[in-house]
Amino acid sequence: MSDAPDVDDRVDYEDGSSSEMEEEHVEEDDDDSHNDEEHDVEAEDEDNNIDIDIETAEDEEEEEREEYSHLLSLPPHGSEVFIGGLPRDVGEEDLRDLCEPIGDIFEVRLMKDRDSGENKGYAFVGFKTKDVAQKAIEELHSKQFKGKTIRCSLSETKNRLFIGNIPKEWTEDEFRKVIEDVGPGVESIELIKDPTNSTRNRGFAFVLYYNNACADYSRQKMIDSSFKLEGNAPTVTWADPKSSPETSAAAAQVKALYVKNIPENTSTEQLKELFQRHGEVTKVVTPPGKGGKRDFGFVHYAERSSALKAVKDSERYEINGQELEVVLAKPQAERKHEPSSYSYGGAAAPSPAPFALPTFGGFAAPPYGAMGIAGSFAQPMIYGRGAMPTGMQMVPMLLPDGRVGYVLQQPGMQMAPPARPRRDDRNNGGSGRENRHHHDGNRGGRRYRPY
């Protein structure tokens, strides 16, 4: 009987501990379910953030595609012209009336003074195509407009970038991939090769774009401090356009072709027959050379449009199986004035230099015949551009290499004698008094110290 209470107590204790354990299990279950709920909420938040990031990225890509599409929808480079010499009372509507009969206009920009609002006498007219711009130059240049002769030429907007600090081990394909990812409208890439190592580049390149807008878009992207080329911060600036035969008003009037690589014994009639399929050929010129004709010549058309057709990329010309090189001739005004150069517009006599060239050591040469040189010898001349200034005459001069040249000099003027050397050093001769007098007269010199 004495053990019964102990058993009951033990049972009660066990029963009590059992209930407490059940309560603990219930609390643990509640904690687990709460943690599971927290994890589910966090996972759901992460999924929502991922969805938001994806949507943001898609929106940015869509905006970028729209921007690319807009830039490429703008007119190409070479479709804008400059018109100068305009009357001061001309407005944009007057320019539209002038240019609309030529072709579709994209925009008209009349330059005006910021203070007075009066136009500055020039404007830029953008057409939708390059062909219409060329047509506008042909029709408007030197035309009379409201009592004034206007000028028309291609606008000098730039579409070429210089990019420096490029990793020198990059190939052109690697560089192209990076540049094309930056912006639209890349037309050509010129990565300059290292002449001493064909597997490396020189660290800079030129990139040509479809138009100025595409080039400026990429330029803005690449000058950002966050943009890098494999860790290198690139140097990005505008590059001058490559020289083209159609970039000036004078060049826009050229109707002649420069034809090179002409086979021997080719007659002018053969050349005329070859090129007249594009239009009326007015004349063919093949300048004489040593031992016969040279391997180049000029073909002149009656209309510029015929010359433009002849130089299209699709055209190929052959004579006796030999392919000819054909380009538009350069205008005479842009040719270098060299005695040996041939001008397709007619050889012009060389002009004397418009300024006096310095003599050798201040020596004024005597007349040419007094130097013992035969009169029949071809006299060497120094030529320059422009007409001879009034009151000047050509005089002979002994050149440093022993030849005789001619320079301009005013009549009666003598060449200045060579400057007398300074005698600052006692060891070069002369007394201390002479040196002191020299330095007193020239405060900029070194102070004389007799000891």
Q: How many angstroms separate the CA atoms of 168 and 175, rounded?
A: 10
User: What pLDDT does 251 receive?
Assistant: 65
> Which positions ≥6 away from 217 have C-beta within 8 Å?
67, 71, 183, 184
| pLDDT number for residue 385 | 47
Q: What is the DSSP letter of 324?
A: P
Give the amino acid at 154. L
pLDDT of residue 264: 83
Model pLDDT, residue 438:
47
The answer to whether the predicted template modeling score (pTM) of the entire model surpasses 0.75 is no
Cβ-in-10-Å burial (0-12, 13-18, 19+) of 368 comes to: middle
Rg, C-alpha atoms of the chain: 41
Run of H or E residues at 8: helix 3-73
Instruction: Estimate to the nearest angstrom the gap between the alpha carbon of 32 and the chain centroid.
Output: 71
Whose structure tokens read 């606008």?
155
Closest listed residue to residue 81, CA positions, set 119, 135, 159: 135
Angle between helices 3-73 and 212-222 (to 10 degrees): 140
Task: Give me the residues paired with residue 206 across strands.
Answer: 162, 190
Q: What is the pLDDT of residue 143?
A: 92
Per-residue pLDDT, 250: 63
3-state secondary structure of 52: helix
What pLDDT, on the 0 to 100 scale, is given for residue 19?
A: 52
The residues pairing with 258 across neighbouring beta strands, listed in sequence order, are 298, 327
> Directed axis angle between helix 130-140 and helix 92-99, to 10°?
100
Rounded Cα distance, 239 and 219, in Å: 11
In whole angstroms, give the CA distance from residue 123 to residue 327.
30
pLDDT of residue 122: 94
User: What does the pLDDT read at residue 173?
Assistant: 93
CA distances from 316 to 313, 394, 439 (A): 8, 50, 76
Kind and range of the H or E run holding 30: helix 3-73
DSSP helix/strand/coil, 98: helix
Q: What is the pLDDT along the chain (451 residues), one digit of tens a residue?
A: 444 444 444 444 444 555 555 555 555 555 555 556 666 656 566 666 666 667 777 777 888 889 999 999 999 999 999 999 999 899 999 999 999 999 999 999 999 988 888 899 999 999 999 999 999 998 999 899 999 999 999 888 899 999 999 999 999 999 999 999 999 999 999 999 998 998 999 999 999 999 999 999 999 999 999 999 999 999 999 998 765 544 555 666 788 999 988 888 888 898 998 998 899 999 998 887 666 667 888 999 988 888 888 888 677 888 888 888 888 888 765 554 443 334 444 444 344 444 444 443 444 444 444 444 444 334 444 444 455 556 666 667 777 766 666 666 655 555 555 555 555 544 544 444 444 444 444 454 555 454 4
CA distance 361 to 185: 59
CA-based angle 373:378:380, to the nearest 5? 90
Q: Determine the pLDDT at residue 361.
A: 40
pLDDT value for 59: 76
At a CB cut-off of 8 Å and minimum separation 6, what does 422 contact? 438
